[in-house]
Amino acid sequence: MPPSLIKRLEKFDDLPPMPNTMHLVLQEMESITSNSKSLEKIIMQDPVLAAKILKIANSPFYGAAGQVNSISHAITILGFDEVKNLIIGLSLIQAFGDDSNFNGVTTKGLWLHSIGVATASMLIAKRAGNGFNPDECFTMGLLHDIGRFILFKAFREDVEKIMKLQEEDRCPLSVAEEKHGLSHAEIGAYLAQKWKLSEKMMSVVRYHHRPKSAGEDEPYCAVIYLADQLCHKLSIGWANKWLPKGVMLPKSLSLKKDDVHEVVGEIKRKKDELSDSWASAMGG
Ligand SMILES: [Fe+2]
Ligand SMILES: [Fe+2]
C-alpha cells in the first residue's frame, strides 16, 4: 500500500474497532470446545443482538413463527454455524451500519452484496471440495468488501471522482478505484490488519479481485472472486452498473461450467430467503 494512503488512513480517526461479539465468535471458531452453550453465552451479552437473532428465528421462513422465545431454541432452529455467521454479520452491521447513501450506493445494498457473496462462497466451497471449509468461506464473503465502508465514509471526494471515472470508462467500480489509486481492497486489508484478522482472511480482503497475486492463499481468494462475480451478475444487493461480459472461472478451483450453473441455480433459489431474513435483521 502506498505510504501516502497509510498516512491518510491513520489520520482518519473514525476507524471502527472490531466488534467485541465478532471477536468472541472468531475465537470460538478456532476453539475445539466450541458448542451451543458457549455461543449462547456470547449472544446473551448483547441484548440487541439477542433480539435480532430471535426475530430471525421467528421469521416465517423457518416455520416456527412466534414460537421461539429463547436463544438456545433459536440456535436449534437456525443451526449452529448459521448462528455463528449471523453474529458476525450482525455485529459488522452494528459497527458500520448507518444508513448512508452515496450516488445510489447504500450501506444496505453493500451489506446485501456481502451476504450474497458469503452465501455464494459457501456454496462454491461445498461444490469444489478441495479441503475448503465452507463455513470459513462464508465468513470471508461477509468480510471481503469491508474496505468499501471505510472508502465511502472517509474518502467522499475521491469516491466522487471514482464514480465519474467509472461512468467515463464504463468499467466496474473496483477498476475505477485502481485507476484512481485508491482501492477498497487495500483499505480493507489495512482494517483487517488493525483488527488482527488471520493472514488468510487478510489475503482474501486484499486479493479477492486478483486471486493470482495471493500466493498460497489463491484458492480461497478464487472462491470469493467467483462468488463476487456471480452476485454482481445476479444483482444481489448493490451491483456494478458496468460489468465484463462473461464470468471468469479461476483454474485453481477445478470447477466445471456445469458446477457454476448449479451454484447459480442455488443462489437464485436462496435469493428471497437472503433478503427476507437479513433485511429484517438490518431493520429494513
Ligand atoms: Fe471487492
Ligand atoms: Fe464484492
Nearest ligand to the CA of 185 is 1
Asked whether 50 and 189 are in contact (CB, 8 A), the reply is no
Three-state DSSP state, 209:
coil
Instruction: Give the separation between CA 235 and CA 237, rounded to whole angstroms.
Output: 6
User: What was the pLDDT predicted at 278?
Assistant: 66
Rounded to the nearest angstrom, the distance between the alpha carbon of 70 and the centre of ligand 2 is 34
Domain boundaries, the chain: 3-281
User: What was the pLDDT predicted at 101?
Assistant: 76
Rounded to the nearest angstrom, the distance between the alpha carbon of 145 and the centre of ligand 2 is 5
User: What was the pLDDT predicted at 130?
Assistant: 80
Q: What is the pLDDT of residues 4-36, one digit of tens each?
A: 777 888 777 678 888 888 888 888 877 777 788
Rounded to the nearest angstrom, the distance between the alpha carbon of 123 and the centre of ligand 2 is 16
User: What was the pLDDT predicted at 9?
Assistant: 81
Nearest ligand to the CA of 174 is 1
Rounded to the nearest angstrom, the distance between the alpha carbon of 226 and the centre of ligand 2 is 10
**Ion ligand 2: residues, CB < 5 A:** 145, 228
| CATH homologous superfamily for the domain 3-281 | Hypothetical protein af1432 (1.10.3210.10)
Q: How many CA atoms lie within 13 A of 122 on its CB side?
A: 16
Nearest ligand to the CA of 229 is 2
User: What was the pLDDT predicted at 281?
Assistant: 65
User: What was the pLDDT predicted at 254?
Assistant: 87
Asked whether 13 and 75 are in contact (CB, 8 A), the reply is no
Instruction: Give the separation between CA 251 and CA 235, rounded to whole angstroms.
Output: 24
Rounded to the nearest angstrom, the distance between the alpha carbon of 117 and the centre of ligand 2 is 7
Taking Cα atoms as reference points, which of 184, 115, 179, 181 lies closest to residue 145? 184
Cell 426475530 locates to 55
User: What was the pLDDT predicted at 280?
Assistant: 64
Nearest ligand to the CA of 184 is 1
Taking Cα atoms as reference points, which of 111, 169, 144 lies closest to residue 223? 144
Residues of the chain with pLDDT under 50: 284
Nearest ligand to the CA of 118 is 2
Q: What is the pLDDT of residues 113-144, one digit of tens each?
A: 998 999 999 999 999 988 899 989 999 999 99
Asked whether 143 and 192 are in contact (CB, 8 A), the reply is yes
